[in-house]
Structure 1
């Protein structure tokens, strides 16, 4: 799956018991989608997780507000937060997007 959004909570880096770096953050997505012929605004937050070097370190280097496109898969999270559902995206790759402000 692929999703674009912006980082709303700085990614935190930790290490697994095996020493693998793992970064977890929170992104927000906003778009317009068509449903039954009508445009529908979509906005939600979802947790993201990146494991391994250099992916985890790259995620922690992003500033809050950075626009990104993430690719990966959805999975159930063991760590629920009030801001997100128990589903997170495990990132296999991501790219920082250029904003045109």
Structure 2
């Protein structure tokens, strides 16, 4: 199964674009920060990940305000067929979370 749930903030967005087939695509960069326990040691985890939302969700995704924590759900896939880079494909997101 390829499913990812992540609490993150959008730190950068690009303008809504359309595929040759007319499918709207919203692109953004997400940032995540959390503390996790691994091998009885607390580990600080911080990273940025590229994300896209395609189709019906793209307009709502593109309207999300920057730097507000939300839970995003989706899956990981290669940026393109020949790439080793991963992109988070968002299929659902929640309301803003309180800090």
**TM-score bucket of the superposed structures, by smaller chain:** 0.7 to 0.9
Mapping of residues 17-56 of structure 1, within 5 Å: 17-53=20-56, 55-56=57-58
After TM superposition, give the deviation of residue 11 of structure 1 in Å: 4.3
Moved over 4 A (4+): none
Alignment partner, residue 81 of structure 1:
none
8 Å contact 1:30–1:44 — kept in the other structure? yes
Alignment partner, residue 90 of structure 1:
89
Q: Could you say what secondary structure the match of 1:98 adopts?
A: coil
Once residues 12 and 77 of structure 1 are traced to their aligned partners in structure 2, the CA distance between those partners, rounded to angstroms, is: 18
Once residues 11 and 62 of structure 1 are traced to their aligned partners in structure 2, the CA distance between those partners, rounded to angstroms, is: 12
Once residues 97 and 42 of structure 2 are traced to their aligned partners in structure 1, the CA distance between those partners, rounded to angstroms, is: 26
Once residues 11 and 99 of structure 1 are traced to their aligned partners in structure 2, the CA distance between those partners, rounded to angstroms, is: 25
Once residues 30 and 24 of structure 1 are traced to their aligned partners in structure 2, the CA distance between those partners, rounded to angstroms, is: 20
* Alignment gaps of 5+ in structure 1: 79-84
* Alignment gaps of 5+ in structure 2: none
8 Å contact 1:27–1:46 — kept in the other structure? yes
Once residues 44 and 99 of structure 1 are traced to their aligned partners in structure 2, the CA distance between those partners, rounded to angstroms, is: 20
